[in-house]
A and B are shown apart, each in its own frame.
Chain A
Amino acid sequence: SAVISQKPSRDICQRGTSLTIQCQVDSQVTMMFWYRQQPGQSLTLIATANQGSEATYESGFVIDKFPISRPNLTFSTLTVSNMSPEDSSIYLCSVGPGQGNQPQHFGDGTRLSIL
């Protein structure tokens, strides 16, 4: 399975600032996904990032708040913009095939706290 490195692993940020999270995969993958996990909650998909096209955002998430880049088949970034305490969450990237019995594989997550 793919090895996924996510940086930073954790950060504490001031409200109103922005943070960019990086996700690096050790092999070329078509689909990358970004999830948010609020404290004590399940994973919620933010967007799907396909190389060479604009990310597809889920309902409730907008590009101005969560801009995503996908410059090549092994790398993606998620920026959390103009942060507020409500953005305190774990952010996870994952990769996986679009179909079949293969699971999505996840990075270790970025634990973000906003003061």
Chain B
Amino acid sequence: AQKITQTQPGMFVQEKEAVTLDCTYDTSDQSYGLFWYKQPSSGEMIFLIYQGSYDEQNATEGRYSLNFQKARKSANLVISASQLGDSAMYFCAMRDTATDSWGKFQFGAGTQVVVTP
């Protein structure tokens, strides 16, 4: 069975600084995908970035980048130049690749990020 682990329940970061959110995963599959979502206090889930297991380069989307270390089974999210609007809960997720899973996602426990002025 696949498993996603986020060990940081909460983090404070100063505005304009970078922050790294940890995510480790456990899977026996060779082909898999990892996703990061942001959930502000309003509750919606916002897709941020994707990393495929066969991608040779780390994914980047604007201020978001993914530090993908396949051998360590980690996919850490880096937010550069933090802004006050980045304050939110961040979830790491993996798509279940079992044939009868219908592509459902498994989510980590999440990390609450608070950006301070």
Contact = CB atoms under 8 A, between A and B. Distances in A.
21 contacts: A31-B102, A33-B105, A42-B107, A42-B110, A43-B45, A43-B91, A43-B105, A43-B107, A48-B102, A50-B102, A90-B43, A92-B45, A94-B105, A96-B105, A98-B103, A99-B95, A100-B33, A103-B37, A104-B105, A105-B47, A109-B45
A97 interface: yes
Q: Which 4 pairs between the two chains have the least Cβ-Cβ distance?
A: A98-B103, A106-B45, A103-B47, A109-B43
A109 B44 contact: yes
A47 to B, nearest CB: 10
A7 B96 CA distance: 28
Contacts of B108: 42
Interface residues on B, range: 20 to 34
Given A43-B91, A90-B43, A108-B43, A48 B104 contact: yes
B2 to A, nearest CB: 13
A96 B103 contact: yes
Interface of B: 33, 35, 37, 42-45, 47, 50, 52, 91, 95, 97, 102-105, 107-110
B43 A111 contact: yes
B52 to A, nearest CB: 5
Contacts of A100: 33
Nearest to B110: A42
A65 B107 CA distance: 23
A45 interface: yes
B44 A108 contact: yes
Contacts of B37: 103
A94 B45 contact: yes
Contacts of A105: 47
A56 interface: yes
A1 B91 CA distance: 20
B110 to A, nearest CB: 5
Contacts of A43: 45, 91, 105, 107
